[in-house]
Chain A
Amino acid sequence: MKKQNIGTPAYHLTFRTRAFNFISHVALTVLSVIWLFPVFWLLLNSFREESGAYTSYFLPKGLTFQNYINLFTNTGLYDFPLWFMNTLIVAIFSCLITTMFVLMTSYVFSRLRFPARRPMMNIMLVLGMFPGFMSMVAVYHVLKLMNLTQTLTGLVIVYSAGAALSYYIAKGFFDTIPRALDEAATIDGASKNTVFWRITLPMSRPIITFTLLSSFIAPWVDFIFVSVLMKGKADKFTVALGLRQMIERETVSAYFTQFCAGAVVVSIPLVILFLMTQKHYVGGITGGATKG
């Protein structure tokens, strides 16, 4: 934004410019309505008073807050608060580990030189293209060998073990941090270890934010791995799997509105995180890629 403003001295807005601005705003409004429509519908459904899953009309007949209250108080059948906490724990730990792994791997590929570097980069690139969930039965049995099935620890491992594969974006970022900084530090007697922790990481806030954020989301939306790993142990479910129990054929009509309320509650932390980190996100990953 700043950069573009530099080159544009104030001049009188012509009619053409005004018209274009008007059209832009109209277009953005229309597009926003389209994009927000499902979200809005979800909100409406979560406040809908009458139960039932399938409505051919758009506006609810009555509004209520009861769906949210039930979600948190009526935990006998669906223990949403517990699932929410489980997911939060898994999300926090797995995003910390994932971020660490990604940063470590991408720093190595960006800054250190060793014989296996190129082949490893290529292999990891290709491995990253493999759809992980196809092999989840094998993952399950490996975790069972370590006695980690039906545990949140196991889930954290599942979500973060493959982190190194997504090194590419962070490596691109590190590539843009001038090497002169490292060299200066090395001359001062700093080890590679010191350079990584004291120089590179503090300069990488955007990419750290980006990685933290994108790895924080996975546990909230995955329902396949968690169902294989937890094998019906309901007190270890995450919200995605738990919410899906609500829309089984037999219960969908009674619990659909509550399901929507749950989905809204799940979205809230993610929305807040997005808004808080928007600056980094937008400037972030890429900022480095060109500024360097």
Chain B
Amino acid sequence: MRKPRGDVFTALNFLVMGVGCAARGQVAKGLLLLAGQASYIFFLLSFGLRYLSEFLTLGNNEQYTVWNEELQINQVITGDNSMLILLFGILTVAVTILFVYVYIINIRFGFKALQMKNEGQPLPTFREDLKTLWNDKYHLVLLTLPTLGLLILTVLPLIFMISMAFTNFDRDHQPPGKLFTWVGFENFKEILWSNPRKSQTFLSVLGWTLIWAVSATTTCYFGGMALALLINRKGVRFKKMWRAFFAITIAVPQFVSLLLMRQFLNDNGTLNNMLLNLELIEAPIRFLTSDLARVTVIVVNLWVGVPYTLLITTGILMNIPADLYESARIDGASPFVMFRKITLPYMLFVTAPYLITQFAGNINAFNVIFLLTNGNPRSIEYYQAGKTDLLITWLYRQTVDEQDFKLASTIGIIIFFIIGTLSLISFNLFASKKREDEFS
């Protein structure tokens, strides 16, 4: 855009937002921009500045006590709360970035209005501006609320959590009694190489997490698909009933069903007692307390996950064009070959996004592990972790039991990084780009 020569209002527009628009007749737009600037300044002065000013140190005043003779108490004088300074400091920075964005828009609006006026074009009225929102800029209307929700309750907390990995927020530096501060990359160094015990554990737990995610995803996927195929078989009657039987298990909250599973599988639980009574085994099988637990959790997860896959895949399977099978049958293909050559490629193509989200979900499968084994059995080969611990349950315990928030955030970032990269790559590999544009 060619920059037109401005007047005093163009200059004033840099100081007071909305003046540029208002001076050319777009009063409502100008007022809105001004209101934006006013509320930003109000936000900064009434809230943001005091957090921003301590953001670099994360607080200077530590809590202390003074003896109060009259009341006979050691009166607590509260200090700064590093955690809140960190969180609200980030919030202030975020709001500032948003403001800068609006500010740039304001400048652009100002120039555009001037230019159009100079060229003698009629400026769009506020009403006309609003109208484009329902059409050309409709994405703004639809995306504003969902994105706002995301920014405030997902992105902001995420940045907060990432920042924590660069501080020394742990048991000895906890608010409200103590302050914590920035330490740079110390925590990453510690977990990745400088502390062999922690990095060793990290690698082992990461390894198991990946094994778990792959096995849990594939077993549930193929298990569910096999079940769906079985129910979809021509000769099978009462299809709805069978599906309902499996769907019912989804309705029982996991914290209940897994609690029952734990009771059912423990060393003196119903299953072991039944097997002992039938004299099939001599000693109880340690489903949950020995290395077998790794198998147990995958099997139990099969119980949890198969009904979901069943529901998702049934419809797709029924939609595979029947003539594909028909011609294959004429060619004399066995059912297995038909599955491999027709069903599977088709299913993988359609459900690839679902598979990838499942995989990521399994890496973060907190509930199943937490409620079933809580990471047990513990192992002395691992630092504060157990054989079935996933990275996510390990880091959860680091915060709840050990108050080691810095370690937990560091692990959190690494998980996030791994999952993010893996899923971005795979999505863009599978990316239904083709499908998406087919209809464009």
Binding site for B on A (CB under 8 A): 1, 3-8, 13, 17-18, 20-21, 24-25, 27-28, 31-32, 34-36, 38-39, 41-42, 45, 53-58, 101, 104-105, 107-108, 110, 112, 114, 117, 120, 122, 124-139, 141-142, 145, 157-158, 160-165, 168-169, 172, 175-179, 191-193, 196, 217, 220-221, 223, 240, 243-244, 247, 259-260, 263, 266-268, 270-271, 274-275, 278, 281-287, 289-292
In the assembled complex, 21 residue pairs joining A and B whose CB atoms fall closer than 8 Å, in A order, are A3-B321, A5-B234, A13-B235, A20-B235, A38-B264, A39-B252, A42-B260, A53-B263, A108-B138, A125-B424, A134-B161, A138-B157, A142-B87, A142-B153, A157-B153, A161-B152, A266-B253, A275-B247, A286-B350, A287-B319, A289-B316
Q: What residues of chain A lie closer than 8 Å to B432, measured between beta carbons?
A: 172, 175
- Please give me the residue from chain A that is nearest to B314 by CB atom: A282
Q: Is the CB of B270 within 8 A of A104?
A: no
Q: Is the CB of B142 within 8 A of A278?
A: no
A242 to B160, CA, bound (A): 30
Q: Given the complex, which residues of B lie within 8 Å of A31, measured CB to CB?
A: 227
Tell me the bound Cα distance from A164 to B364 in angstroms: 19
Residues of B within 8 A of A (CB): 83-84, 87-88, 91, 134-136, 138-139, 141-143, 145-147, 149-150, 152-158, 160-161, 227, 230-237, 239-240, 242-257, 259-261, 263-264, 268-270, 273-274, 303, 306-307, 311-316, 318-319, 321-323, 325-326, 350-351, 353-354, 357, 360, 363-364, 366, 392, 395-396, 408, 412, 415-416, 419-420, 423-424, 427, 432, 435-436, 438-440
Asked if B248 and A127 sit within 8 Å, CB to CB, the answer is no
> Are A176 and B439 closer than 8 Å at their CB atoms?
yes
Other than A39-B249, A108-B143, give 20 A-B pairs with Cβ distance below 8 A: A21-B236, A28-B236, A28-B242, A35-B303, A38-B260, A42-B260, A45-B260, A56-B273, A108-B142, A126-B424, A127-B158, A142-B157, A160-B149, A172-B432, A176-B439, A221-B253, A259-B256, A267-B248, A286-B312, A286-B316
- Bound-state CA distance A278–B274 (Å) is 36
Residues of A within 8 A of B135 (CB): 191-193
Q: Which residues of B contact A281 (CB under 8 A)?
A: 311
Chain B at the A interface: mostly helix, strand, loop or mixed?
Answer: helix
How far does the alpha carbon of A228 sit from the alpha carbon of B364 in the complex, in Å?
20
A105 CA to B87 CA in the complex, in Å? 28
A188: shortest Cβ distance to chain B, in Å? 14
Bound: A163/B82 CA distance, A: 30
User: Taking CB as reference atom, which chain A residue is nearest B90?
Assistant: A138
Is B153 a contact of A162 with CB atoms below 8 Å? yes
